[in-house]
Structure 1
């Protein structure tokens, strides 16, 4: 729908309007005609057809709009199409790359081969990059034996953890069975074994912490959850108790404007910010912070 330039520029501050949604829309703006600098277009993308209440919420972001249109997108592998030709991404000791860039590896790198595919997580997005940077920093002074990666996508963070702590048992989950299949393929491409033993990664399709496999393995000394702010807040009461005393929790998928709400949900569960990472409580990547917390030992 049409919007003004002022409304478009205000959009980065509008994310709190959807913090309560488990599956918020992706909103973008475009300036179709550079000769009409005040005439912009707002685009909102949904996984499913939105109801009228959600459409009304979207329209509040552009009060000047007199109409809107709703159209289905063609069935395309949009994730793969957006990832083709990606350059290697470095985050601390980790480097995420595709087969086309294997020659970019340098001595001392922990290389993670991730191909374009039907799952989120190539290292390109700031949330994944921030988690990799946090894991790289934690690797210097921490030794973990029992690791959980929630919302694994391509499996990149589970694989990074398995490379950083090769004796650890890692379990990775995703609500999407396609993502779990992609992650398993990436495990094989990175010569990591699927299984429940030391040095192996177990992949399961699961939503939240309710799966029996997660309950059986808890408490964890490292939990990584790169999801979205809404689910992170909703799951705080189940994620926090699954963290062992002295364990570390890495949270991402939230915008800077959502940081306080997410952090508050976990502070209310008895966790505290963990600050020794580069002298800061969180790694900032533009507007996408990575929160690091711990459960006190006593």
Structure 2
């Protein structure tokens, strides 16, 4: 998955997006504008030539100054002049500002990425790391999701919004039998859907093989069976719906996609073909400024906007396919 403002590329940990090398990792920080952060959310060609690929995160440090954002770029080795120049090109508004380069020792990563993450409450769900495994409140559904290699620990507003929307659907009495979670990251949303509708068949996919490895690990930790049967979660590595199992199991009555606005728009016809009339799509990973363009793409495919949950700048959309 690509980076979006407030979210590190390839992870769900605000501030520490990848496991560091033996000596630790490095962070480069610059101020940026909200407009620059939104552009970075779509594409980062300036960093494409570098290997290993830097990891990018943007954030809004002070809600009272909504146009003043911060750019953080994480790299495994100490950044050289070429990389610093490429990073500076991402934030033209910071011209003349000296990048702040910080070394992150390995022990800091372990401590901060785990113990520093507070549990997330979203509807009936309580998402936590091993450090908070004994804090699941009575009556809530707990998921242990380690801070690690894939996006979707629940600590980003997009994931939290999806969890809240799923819980809201269950509270309204809706039932789903065939569920797909596209761009699953850690598997969290697929696990939540299975918890709400345990008799359903669920499949979780991601374009990144590492995400599916992480999802399998998380399924084992949370005692969630994987497989093709009801009450199980099937796993697949796929770009969009491009997998024989995703196609074979369609049409779905619930499809979840927490990815990015551009791919959501591009995939609208494909997702529409994969959803039953009367079926539901939950879309997230888009900024509020992108919501109308995404919704319009699905209206053209016969959907109507049924609900939305907004957390900060991040809306979660629920669309329903019209019955013809």
RMSD over aligned CA atoms reads: 3.5
Residue number in structure 1 paired with 2:272: 240
Query: For 2:246 and 2:315, how far apart are their aligned partners in 1?
Result: 26
Instruction: Return the offset for 1:112.
Output: 1.3
Contact 1:16–1:257 under 8 Å retained in 2: no
SS in 2 for 1:188: helix
Residue number in structure 1 paired with 2:187: 155
**CA pair 87-63 structure 1, distance change in 2 beyond 3 A:** closer
Residue number in structure 1 paired with 2:319: 293
Query: For 2:127 and 2:94, how far apart are their aligned partners in 1?
Result: 43
Instruction: Return the offset for 1:17.
Output: 3.5
Contact 2:114–2:131 under 8 Å retained in 1: no
Residue number in structure 1 paired with 2:39: 17
Query: For 2:87 and 2:296, how far apart are their aligned partners in 1?
Result: 25
User: Are 2:218 and 1:218 aligned?
Assistant: no
Structure 2 unaligned blocks of 5 or more: 1-27, 48-54, 62-68, 77-81
Query: For 2:315 and 2:108, how far apart are their aligned partners in 1?
Result: 25
TM-score, with structure 2 as normaliser = 0.73
Aligned residues: 272
User: Are 2:229 and 1:203 aligned?
Assistant: no
TM-score, with structure 1 as normaliser = 0.79
The C-alpha deviation readout for 1:213-268, integer Å capped at 9, x for no partner, is 11111110000101111211221121122111111111111111221222221112
SS in 2 for 1:263: helix
Q: Greater shift after overlay, 22-31 or 201-210?
A: 22-31
Residue number in structure 2 paired with 1:110: 141
SS in 1 for 2:92: coil
Structure 1 unaligned blocks of 5 or more: 32-39, 275-280
Contact 1:77–1:118 under 8 Å retained in 2: no
Matches within 5 A, 1:1-298: 8=32, 11-17=33-39, 21=43, 26=56, 28=58, 43=72, 59=89, 61-62=91-92, 65=95, 83-85=113-115, 86-140=117-171, 141-274=173-306, 281-298=307-324
**CA pair 87-57 structure 1, distance change in 2 beyond 3 A:** closer
Instruction: Return the offset for 1:103.
Output: 2.1
**CA pair 77-204 structure 1, distance change in 2 beyond 3 A:** farther
